[in-house]
Structure 1
Amino acid sequence: MQLDKTRIAIREREPLEIYDLGLIVMRVYWWKILQALAITAVPLTLINAALLWAMEPDLVVNETAGYFIVCMTMAVVLEAPLAGIPITVLLGDALFHERPNWRRMCTGLWPVVPRIFWLIVVLRGILPGMLLLFLASLDEDFVAYGFLIALCCYSLLFRCVRPYIGEILVLEKNPVFGKKKGMITVGARSYSLHTPNFGDLLIRGMWALICIPLACSIVLNIFGIRGFVFGRWNWDSMFLYIWFPLGLWLVVAFMTVVRFLSYLDLRIRREGWEVELVLRAEASRMKEIAG
């Protein structure tokens, strides 16, 4: 591994360039990205289906099917940071290696799992959201449904001002609590990275709204292809439980790639990361020569 010879050129990019590069990364690593997405998306989809199973008998009613679609959408929105973790690990490895390797990627990741559970699953509302999702499915409980909407708004706001918690956890691997004096914790690292760049992060959050028309486009294309090929033009269980979540997860995968590239861009702009990589590469070469 040579730190100054990365698979993605380390330089500043404008938002449109980041999204364009995101499409290129998706094209080059599409199979690996789908594998990484499946690690979390498949079990999460099964969990969501189980939580919403109480609505199954009434899905023939359009109003219930619409309610199901909204609930499933909110579930995917809440779970997106967790679903994107394997993709982030993959891209972090692919940045410095020509061929990503799952064994190398997973090395040292196990100690980070408790931090991911606390900071991503609990504090970002995924676990409470699952409970509210189950309650909302029971006789269409609109009180739980209202709390679920509020939780989604909280999660999106938190994600807008602190978007790179996942990258800090799995790539930088900072501890939650500093056991030694001077140790940089997740909170301290998040504050130093996010707080001075609030305006920039807000603009990037606005750019991320492109995921809404993108999700609509993918889901409608899946619905249309399914209709033209198989003649199914209704919202049946197969579409609602499998094809609809699949369309949403594909958008999550793309937006995870974009967020990773935005994380690199922010570090380059604010911390001179490209200079750091060059210096570390030279130090490594000198150490090899001296050794």
Structure 2
Amino acid sequence: MQLDRTHVSVRARSLAEIGDLSLLLVRRYSGALVVGFTLGLLPWAILNFLLLGYIPINEARDGIIDEQTYYERARYVWLMCALVFLQTPIAGIFTTYYIGQAVFEERPPWATVVKACRQSLLPVLWVLGTLRGPLVAMALLATNWGGEFAPGRELFWVLVIVLWAALIRSIRPFMPEILLLERCPLRAARGQETTITASRRSGLLHSPLSGDLIGRYLMTAIIVAALALGVFYGIMAVRGFLSTEWNWTLHLGSLPISDVQLLWLPLALWIVAGLSIFMRFLGYLDARIRLEGWEVELAVRAEALRQFGTESSPVLSTPQAENVA
């Protein structure tokens, strides 16, 4: 492994450069998006269908287009967008690990990726699944499954969870990389109080750059939202030209199907969510370069590897963690 010969030039970048490079990475590592992100999102997409699918199914079965129909569509769109937003970091764990290794190595086998992510599954489920809201929101929506619109649970509390997740992710965006790539534990083992835990590492990485991270997060959110709209309406245009059906309900003979809500809307959201994983990873590299002089560290470690032939510490481990070890 040549640590100073990465597939991505290790240098500080502006947000515009990060966005441009993320598109290039998607082309270079398309498997990370097509295979890895699909593996990660599939269980969440199935759960979302089970939680929310009854809304468009009931709407199509009634076959009536009235004011209530538009309220139900707005309800479904809001809840689906909220769930995909909350689930994106945890759905992208395979992609995050894959591109974190592929920057330095030729594409790692997916069996290795899955095995490595499985080892961090419990911390990931706790931090990205519980503390950052997706499992909480899904449990909340499950309490109203099959019922009519509940403003308290489906609007107020889901909005609170989304805002909480947005706040945490704006000031602590790189927790997936800390858990999956740097392998920081949630708690220090007894007798090893000097170990760099995930919370401590998060503070070391994020606190000095908090103002810049918040600004970048807001700009990225605007870009991602615009991309999601563009992808969705692009899919709708192709669907309309191919089927000559411009309504949200597609009729197969006498059978109405809400394909837009059940398939095309989630697909558009997940496509853009996958791109956001690449943008976040490049932001993580940029933060380490600006804060820790990571490009210098890689050059020194690469020379040590060539001279002595050993490299025992993880490529993406923290300098502080290495000193403690």
Q: Is the shorter-chain TM-score for this pair beyond 0.5, marking a shared fold?
A: yes
Alpha carbons of structure 1 residues 100 and 37: separation in structure 2 relative to 1, 3 Å: same
- 1:143 and 2:143 aligned: no
Greater displacement, 8-17 / 203-212: 203-212
Deviation at 1:235, TM superposition (A): 1.6
Q: Please point out which of 63, 66, 74 is paired with 2:71.
A: 63
Which string of whole-angstrom CA distances, capped at 9 and with x for unpartnered residues, describes residues 200-228 of structure 1? 11111122121111101101111111011
Q: Aligned residue for 1:288?
A: 309
Q: Aligned residue for 1:183?
A: 195
TM, length-normalised to structure 2? 0.85
Q: Aligned residue for 1:230?
A: 243
Distance of 2:259 and 2:215 partners within structure 1: 38
Residue 177 of structure 1 aligns to a residue whose secondary structure is: coil
Over the residues paired in the alignment, what is the CA RMSD in angstroms? 1.5
Deviation at 1:194, TM superposition (A): 0.7
Q: Aligned residue for 2:66?
A: none
Alpha carbons of structure 1 residues 251 and 30: separation in structure 2 relative to 1, 3 Å: same
Alignment of 1:239-254 (within 5 A): 239-254=260-275
1:135 and 1:141 in contact (8 A); partners too: no
Distance of 1:106 and 1:84 partners within structure 2: 12
Residue 109 of structure 1 aligns to a residue whose secondary structure is: helix
Q: Aligned residue for 2:294?
A: 273
Q: Aligned residue for 1:201?
A: 213
Alpha carbons of structure 1 residues 31 and 107: separation in structure 2 relative to 1, 3 Å: closer
Larger helix share, 1 or 2:
1
Distance of 2:31 and 2:307 partners within structure 1: 37
Deviation at 1:104, TM superposition (A): 3.4
Alignment of 1:1-291 (within 5 A): 1-55=1-55, 56-59=57-60, 61-135=69-143, 138-145=147-154, 146-179=156-189, 180-208=192-220, 209-236=222-249, 237-288=258-309
Alpha carbons of structure 1 residues 136 and 201: separation in structure 2 relative to 1, 3 Å: farther
Which string of whole-angstrom CA distances, capped at 9 and with x for unpartnered residues, describes residues 153-177 of structure 1? 1111111011000000000000000
Quote the sequence identity (%). Answer: 35
Aligned residue identity for 1:184? I
Q: Kindly tell me the number of residue pairs found equivalent between the two proteins.
A: 289
Alpha carbons of structure 1 residues 95 and 103: separation in structure 2 relative to 1, 3 Å: same
TM, length-normalised to structure 1? 0.95
Distance of 1:107 and 1:274 partners within structure 2: 29
Distance of 1:28 and 1:111 partners within structure 2: 27
1:87 and 1:256 in contact (8 A); partners too: yes
Deviation at 1:136, TM superposition (A): 5.0
Deviation at 1:46, TM superposition (A): 1.1
Greater displacement, 77-86 / 263-272: 77-86
